[in-house]
Amino acid sequence: MREKSRNFNFAILTYFIIVVLFVALRMLSAFGFLDALGDYSGLVFSLAVQVVLLLGGSLFLFSRFKKDKVVNTLNYFGCKKISKNVVWLTVGLGVVVFILNVFVSSTFNSLIDFFGYEHTLTPLPTSYGFDSLFVNLVFSALLPGICEELVHRGMLLKSLKPLGMWKAILLSGFLFGLLHMNIEQFFYATVIGIFLGFLTVMTGSIFPAMIVHFMNNALSVYVTFSRVNNLPIGNLYEGFFTLVSSNFFLGALLCLMVMVVLSYLLYMLCHKIFRAQLKNNLEQAAQEVQKNLTKQAFFLDLQSIKNGETNSTLPDPRLEIIKQLFALQPSVQEKFIPKKSSCFLLWVTFVLMSVITIFTFVWGVL
């Protein structure tokens, strides 16, 4: 319990530092302090946030607080191997999540439009080459998929688990939505964050969440690229929304049908991923137990030879594997009570991000 308490406190402190520095960077950018960098200001800002703050903070700062190696921190965050089958299933899941996300974000944007919010529409670029596509895939999909997941589904989700599994999933997902500090992204980012937390807990690895996050952002980038360059995906995207907006009732019925089909696909893919990863986890556990049994048998044989015994009683590998697998199940533990200072920092972080998110709705700042 003491170790869990320390991890909880260090995670909250690390996240607080990340958020404060992120807000400072957002303010510097909003007031034009990065304009001197010209066209590279956005890339520099993205690198500073993703690599320095999120990646550096979650890995190196958290490791520094724990006085532990970065490799051990990665293991703690859930960087565990997944099978090739799970990788491909998760890629498909990312496609489904992206399409569902389009409907969810569109619905939420329509809702805030009703309350008078004016969207900051970004016009499509006049040209969009493969070099720009590559840069945007790296900075808008690859880096967020890795760095943001390490913070929220790695450090936060794992460290908040003593509060309860569902509390950890909901809280880490809600903080993920708030970290975007933008009312347009808050809702769908929160929904995706909660789903990715559930996916991480069920698979026991952070990699599926990274893949889904990457696929969602990468497809968003590619759709923009396709629309500018008049490619089939872009034409299909625009054609669908033109059809939906042409007739309210037809559009509502079509959207409902698509969401039902996508929800079913989401369920089926999650079911297959969980089964495939469970099988992979059991195989890894069995291999680990077998390796330990081999070491144990070696030392028992040495001991029997030393004592002049001709036969040694070795444990049944199958029985040991079963014992080890049951040992993986969580045991009943005493109630976790976080420190007041950590709770205070968590509330300050929550309020700070909430205020900025509300400001983007009311005044359109930052």
Per-residue tens of pLDDT for the chain, all 366 residues: 678 888 999 999 999 999 999 999 888 887 878 777 777 888 888 999 999 999 998 999 999 999 989 999 999 999 988 888 999 999 999 999 999 988 888 777 777 776 666 666 667 787 888 999 999 999 999 999 999 999 999 999 999 998 889 999 999 999 999 998 888 888 889 999 999 999 999 898 999 999 999 999 999 999 999 989 988 888 888 887 777 677 777 777 887 888 889 899 999 999 999 888 888 777 777 766 666 666 666 556 555 655 655 444 445 554 554 454 444 444 445 677 778 888 899 999 999 998 888 887 665 554
Residues 44/34, Cβ–Cβ less than 8 Å = yes
Alpha-carbon span 10 to 1, nearest angstrom: 14
Residues 218/101, Cβ–Cβ less than 8 Å = no
Q: What is the model's pTM?
A: 0.84
- Tokens at residue 199, please? 């996916």
Secondary structure (H, E, C), the chain: CHHHHHHHHHHHHHHHHHHHHHHHHHHHHHCCCCHHHHHHHHHHHHHHHHHHHHHHHHHHHHHHHHCCCHHHHHHHHCCCCCCHHHHHHHHHHHHHHHHHHHHHHHHHHHHHHHCCCCCCCCCCCCCCCHHHHHHHHHHHHHHHHHHHHHHHHHHHHHHHHHHCHHHHHHHHHHHHHHHCCCHHHHHHHHHHHHHHHHHHHHHCCCHHHHHHHHHHHHHHHHHHHHHHCCCHHHHHHHHHHHHHHHCHHHHHHHHHHHHHHHHHHHHHHHHHHHHHHHHHHHHHHHHHHHHHHHHHHHHHHHHHHHCCCCCCCCCCHHHHHHHHHHHCCCCCCCCCCCCHHHHHHHHHHHHHHHHHHHHHHHCCCC
Beta carbons within 10 angstroms of residue 335's beta carbon:
6
